[in-house]
Chain A
Amino acid sequence: MDVLPFELALTFYFAATIVSITELFKESKITSRIMFSLAGIGFVIHTASIIYRYIAAGHIPITNAHEATSFFSWCIVFIFFLLQFRYKVNLLSSFIMPVVFMLMLSSSMLSREIKPLSPLLQSYWLGIHTVFAFMSNAAFALAFGVGLMYIVQERHVKSKRLGGLFERLPSLQTLDEINYRLITWGFPLLTLAIISGALWAQSTLGSYWNRDPRETLSLITWLIYAIILHARLIAGWRGRRAALMSMLGFLIILIAFFGIKFLKIGYHVF
């Protein structure tokens, strides 16, 4: 039963991805409406599948790789809709939906078995810590997409070749501001995730900091985004540098996320 909604959501995201990619070549009001409907339906079904797993497992469904990747995609789509509702960034879907689809696809290939929750993780901290962590990472994922759009648009303007996506991509300043806004969303969430994680570790392991690789990488990510924010406010690092840094930050998140899963080190492995 839990298979069907997930596959359905995957299918809708796949269709939305195809439409969003065709939009890179030809775009109209109709294609964007189709894209949003497909992604929207996918999102609703996806939400239902997560709620279903929540009820079946009795805790937030992010305790195995399949669930975690799926929940991460859900967070990205959630913030994507939030962003589109507020800013209407043209072509953003073409840069985000493929990422969502790839994540969902990898999620679909991972084991879906609901294993009994290890006593280490049985805590109300599980929900708090992971929601903060995933939401912050999703905001950074969006910042990655917007950063990439900035880099593409910047190349057009700088090199004076105004073909391709130049016409349809938003202005540099808009992209720069949204990239910054996403980091100001993601950064406090990441801070909360780290604090709640430390408190949780203290309550179960007796120590705030256990040199788990995930903890170390999170701290590095936190530092990168702290530098981005700081450099922007003090030294006026904006534009291309800020975009590149935000992309680097997200790459480290991806390495942390998948690297740890495949290397199976530390207690963030499930």
Chain B
Amino acid sequence: MKVFVAGLNHKIADVDVREKLAFNGPKLEEGLKRFRELPEVHEAIILSTCNRVELYANVKDNQRAAEAVKTFLSEFHNINRSSLDAGLYIYDGVNAVRHIFRVASSLDSMVVGEPQILGQLKDAFELALSQKTTGILLNKLMKKAISVAKRVRTETRIAENAVSISFAAVELAKKIFTDLSKRVFMLLGAGEMAELAAKHLISSGVKEVLVSNRTYERACDIAKEFNGKPVRFDEFIDEMARADIVICSTGAPDYIVTKGQMQKVMKERKQRQVFLIDISVPRNIDPETNDLDNVYLYNVDDLQGVVDSNLFERKKEAEKAEKIIDEELETFLRWQSTLDSVPTIIAIREKAEEIKKEELDKLFHKITGMGEKEREAIEYMAAALINKMIHPPTAALKEDSEDKDILVATIRKLYGIDGKKE
């Protein structure tokens, strides 16, 4: 009885390969059902996201399970069996558990620390629960993986810093202004990155959106999309006095906002802080503008610098996270080993012997003047009693059965072997 993982992720497979193996929509439920029905697989979960496809199972023989899973995947997705031989990673036992913990904690993600993966894992587990494809081992494993991920989240700062340019811009805006919902935002020009950053800012809630573009029609279109107000390009500098956050990305070959102009704007807005983001290349806002009091100008490289240092920070935090995972791995393995039948058989016997000894001591203490023969007879009887009592569970544990883990857990509970439930 072992944890088994087979899968592929963004590191080893390109998106066109991942696409082919993805279990999306109705395919997931059907795939999970058929995966669980494989004779080598006793419990099953399928995690399928845009960056990874992974199959988790409880198996007895990992070699045979690996073969079965490959055959299943190639049949289910109708792809060449041989292409799967090299294209999958297979883990079992400790490595499989570690892998699942790392995935849940977002250490294996494309952007380390991104929070979506935990939700996706929870969904996968939920589906498995509703389809009743899991049992004692994977249930415990999933619950543990979720708690490990939460521990990593709270004990390290892995998910704290923005790691994309548009998120970095929002984070910065929040450190300049108290309440974004009272701020006016202006988008100058257009461009994929500028619009993405604008979307992030607007979705964190700004009061008003102004949009200006060299072609007024385009400004109107974008303004409509963002529920904002279009501004004619020759008037944008007048409107800028009202704007607290400006994202600039026009195709202009030189500066469209000079230091002198910005000085005037600042005077008009009574020196209230302003955050300028110049995403355009070549730059559209004179870099010297940043020297003005209460003007904070970031260009694309500045933002990238923020992102890079955050990524570096995340790497350091990831090392802490690995340590947490090591610790949790140990407690999980300890739990898993209790599911083995041998220690349980020993534990039952020890428990019975202990009771026998205790009761005999009490008895011999109470009744004095007993002869050696009588003593022996009583001891013999006590031994026979406990042997008869523990024979059936011991025999059942020694038998080779499919649901042995459940049996082990039940017997441990009935005999109170683990003491209090953890």
A interface residues, Cβ below 8 angstroms from B:
153, 156-158, 160, 162-163, 166-167, 169-174, 176-177, 235-241
Q: Is A157 touching B296 in the complex (CB atoms < 8 A)?
A: yes
Q: Is B306 touching A160 in the complex (CB atoms < 8 A)?
A: yes
Cα-based distance from A156 to B306 in the complex (angstroms): 11
Q: Which residue of B lies closest to A239 (CB)?
A: B294
Q: Is A158 touching B296 in the complex (CB atoms < 8 A)?
A: yes
Q: Known: A162-B306, A171-B177. Is A238-B294 also a contact (CB below 8 A)?
A: yes
Nearest CB in chain B: distance from A13 CB, A? 30
Q: Known: A173-B273, A236-B267, A236-B272. Is A241-B293 also a contact (CB below 8 A)?
A: yes
The one of A235, A239, A241 that contacts B273, using a Cβ cutoff of 8 Å: A239
Nearest CB in chain A: distance from B310 CB, A? 8
Q: Is A153 touching B175 in the complex (CB atoms < 8 A)?
A: yes
Q: Is A238 touching B272 in the complex (CB atoms < 8 A)?
A: yes
Does B178 sit at the interface, judged by CB under 8 A? yes
Nearest CB in chain B: distance from A5 CB, A? 39
The one of B160, B176, B306 that contacts A173, using a Cβ cutoff of 8 Å: B176
Does B172 sit at the interface, judged by CB under 8 A? yes
Q: Known: A238-B294, A240-B293. Is A174-B178 also a contact (CB below 8 A)?
A: yes
Q: Is B176 touching A177 in the complex (CB atoms < 8 A)?
A: no
The one of B172, B174, B267, B293 that contacts A239, using a Cβ cutoff of 8 Å: B293
A-B contact count (CB 8 A): 57
Q: Which residue of A lies closest to B173 (CB)?
A: A171
Give chain B residues whose Cβ lies under 8 Å from the Cβ of A166: 175
Apart from A156-B175, A162-B172, A239-B294, 16 more pairs, CB < 8 Å: A153-B175, A157-B296, A160-B298, A160-B305, A160-B306, A167-B160, A169-B175, A171-B178, A172-B177, A173-B178, A174-B178, A235-B271, A236-B267, A236-B269, A239-B273, A240-B293
Give chain B residues whose Cβ lies under 8 Å from the Cβ of A239: 271, 273, 293-294
Q: Is B270 touching A172 in the complex (CB atoms < 8 A)?
A: no
Q: Which residue of B lies closest to A177 (CB)?
A: B178
Give chain B residues whose Cβ lies under 8 Å from the Cβ of A237: 271
Q: Is B273 touching A172 in the complex (CB atoms < 8 A)?
A: yes
Cα-based distance from A239 to B306 in the complex (angstroms): 23
Give chain B residues whose Cβ lies under 8 Å from the Cβ of A160: 298, 302, 305-306
Cα-based distance from A17 to B405 in the complex (angstroms): 55
Give chain B residues whose Cβ lies under 8 Å from the Cβ of A241: 293
Does B336 sit at the interface, judged by CB under 8 A? no
Give chain B residues whose Cβ lies under 8 Å from the Cβ of A156: 175
Q: Is B175 touching A157 in the complex (CB atoms < 8 A)?
A: yes
Give chain A residues whose Cβ lies under 8 Å from the Cβ of B177: 171-173
The one of A163, A171, A235 that contacts B174, using a Cβ cutoff of 8 Å: A171
Scan B287-320; emit 1 where CB is below 8 A from any A CB, else 0.
0001001101010001001100100000000000
Which interface residue of A153, A170, A236, A237 has the most chain B CB atoms within 10 A? Answer: A236
Which interface residue of B161, B271, B290, B305 has the most chain A CB atoms within 10 A? Answer: B271
Q: Is A238 touching B271 in the complex (CB atoms < 8 A)?
A: yes
Which interface residue of A163, A238, A240, A241 has the most chain B CB atoms within 10 A? Answer: A238
Q: Is A158 touching B273 in the complex (CB atoms < 8 A)?
A: no
Give chain B residues whose Cβ lies under 8 Å from the Cβ of A177: 178
Give chain A residues whose Cβ lies under 8 Å from the Cβ of B306: 160, 162
Closest 6 CB pairs of A and B: A236-B270, A236-B271, A239-B294, A174-B178, A173-B178, A173-B177
Which interface residue of B272, B294, B305 has the most chain A CB atoms within 10 A? Answer: B294
Give chain A residues whose Cβ lies under 8 Å from the Cβ of B176: 157, 171-173
Cα-based distance from A174 to B298 in the complex (angstroms): 21
Can you identify 7 A-B contacts, CB atoms within 8 angstroms? Answer: A156-B175, A157-B172, A158-B290, A160-B298, A166-B175, A171-B177, A239-B294
Q: Which residue of A lies closest to B171 (CB)?
A: A162
Nearest CB in chain A: distance from B157 CB, A? 8
Q: Is B272 touching A163 in the complex (CB atoms < 8 A)?
A: no
Q: Which residue of A lies closest to B298 (CB)?
A: A160
Give chain A residues whose Cβ lies under 8 Å from the Cβ of B172: 157, 162
Nearest CB in chain B: distance from A194 CB, A? 29
Q: Which residue of A lies closest to B179 (CB)?
A: A173
8 Å CB interface, B251-308 against A? 267, 269-273, 290, 293-294, 296, 298, 302, 305-306
Cα-based distance from A170 to B177 in the complex (angstroms): 9
Nearest CB in chain B: distance from A237 CB, A? 7
Q: Which residue of A lies closest to B291 (CB)?
A: A158
Give chain B residues whose Cβ lies under 8 Å from the Cβ of A169: 175
Give chain B residues whose Cβ lies under 8 Å from the Cβ of A235: 270-271
Q: Is A163 touching B309 in the complex (CB atoms < 8 A)?
A: yes
Give chain B residues whose Cβ lies under 8 Å from the Cβ of A158: 290, 296
Give chain B residues whose Cβ lies under 8 Å from the Cβ of A157: 172, 175-176, 296
Give chain B residues whose Cβ lies under 8 Å from the Cβ of A173: 176-178, 273
Q: Which residue of A lies closest to B172 (CB)?
A: A157
Nearest CB in chain B: distance from A1 CB, A? 47
Cα-based distance from A69 to B161 in the complex (angstroms): 43
Q: Which residue of B lies closest to A153 (CB)?
A: B175
8 Å CB interface, B161-185 against A? 161, 172, 174-178
Nearest CB in chain A: distance from B121 CB, A? 27
Q: Which residue of B lies closest to A175 (CB)?
A: B178
Nearest CB in chain A: distance from B114 CB, A? 18
Nearest CB in chain A: distance from B292 CB, A? 10
Q: Which residue of A lies closest to B160 (CB)?
A: A167
Cα-based distance from A219 to B269 in the complex (angstroms): 32
Cα-based distance from A22 to B383 in the complex (angstroms): 63
Nearest CB in chain A: distance from B272 CB, A? 7
